[in-house]
Homo-oligomer: A and B are copies of this chain.
């Protein structure tokens, strides 16, 4: 194999696929990037068995002098490419003799060991029956707006994934961790059929980092029984799905409420951030909201001190004193982009809903117990 690359192309390819290289693994071949070169293109692949990323550089963008395949350790190869691509304007020449890969640029020549490319695990074949399309921008936003409420701890595997639920021209994305639910609804441009998939949060996180997020560039999404595939520009990401039936969330949602409070989002965030200063890791203290006409008082008591603050609000319905884990409020409020948010509540034991009129987003947060004496 012998190929001459433009530095930005090989840099981009390595940075893209490296997200699928596991940081720890017992199968050392998975620590490698597979580079396979045919007459018309060079393909870069990484695969941690949960998540595979492939990206291509076409023969029109590089100079293919000899075809072939090599596997190289991703970490050292990535470090070399990033370093020489940052310093040189020259092209990068890569050459393999079957045991050593040479990477050269200007006056520097790196030699690294090759690994057997045949050991690299094959990617699953997809039938590509069910398909939908949306802009990179929207997909990235949808992930950002829901990813924070997947469970990090996988005692319940299902909670570490997000439900992608396609119904005609409508996609609903749901995540939940037992204390809260995040829902984003997306209107698609056409009817793409019906499908459901539970996609691991970790893979969605990596996906959101390699999407360029441009509004006029699309992603094709294929959903099958065991895999989902995301295809955009020269890159394909294949993700193993979480098996099983997702939680029935519709029965947890309700449009009834006894109190509606409209709050300036930025002021609310600032007040909660003040309260969070007083919380030490080990010590979970609730933020108590006392909602009366046109005013929301907030109080947090902890071992290090207390905070009292208040906000002017627009409120309709009854008065209420209710307490939350302030982190859950912050997570939802930070991803919303509206200037004002509406909170819908019923009583101190029932969930609070933060949702917009158009139904683009719904955040459900369960309240926590508090002793009224501590207010």
Contacts from A to B (Cβ < 8 Å): 73, 76, 79-80, 83-84, 87, 107-113, 270-271, 273-274, 277-278, 304-311
Contacts and interface: CB of A to CB of B under 8 A. Distances in A.
5 nearest A-B pairs in the assembled complex, by CB-CB distance: A112-B305, A108-B309, A79-B277, A109-B308, A111-B306
Given A113-B304, A305-B113, A108 B76 contact: no
A273 B108 CA distance: 11
Contacts of A109: 307-309
A297 B199 CA distance: 52
Nearest to A295: B107
Contacts of A84: 274
Contacts of A79: 277
Contacts of A113: 304-305
Number of copies: 2
**Which of the listed residues A73, A80, A107 has the most CB atoms from chain B within 10 Å of its own CB?**
A107
B309 A277 contact: no
B305 A108 contact: no
Contact of A76 (B73, B278, B308, B311): B278
B304 A73 contact: yes
27 contacts: A73-B304, A76-B277, A76-B278, A76-B304, A76-B305, A79-B277, A80-B274, A80-B277, A83-B273, A83-B274, A87-B270, A107-B271, A107-B309, A107-B310, A107-B311, A108-B271, A108-B274, A108-B307, A108-B308, A108-B309, A109-B308, A110-B305, A110-B307, A111-B306, A112-B304, A112-B306, A113-B305
Contacts of A271: 107-108
Nearest to A100: B305
Nearest to A103: B305
A79 to B, nearest CB: 4
A17 to B, nearest CB: 19
**Which of the listed residues A84, A110, A273 has the most CB atoms from chain B within 10 Å of its own CB?**
A110
A306 to B, nearest CB: 5
A101 to B, nearest CB: 9
Contacts of A306: 110-112
Nearest to A299: B109
Nearest to A306: B111
Contacts of A277: 76, 79-80, 83
A278 B109 CA distance: 12
A130 to B, nearest CB: 43
Contacts of A304: 73, 76, 112-113
Contacts of A273: 83
Contact of A111 (B80, B108, B112, B305): B305
Given A110-B305, A110-B306, A111-B307, 5 more contacts: A108-B274, A109-B309, A110-B274, A110-B307, A111-B308
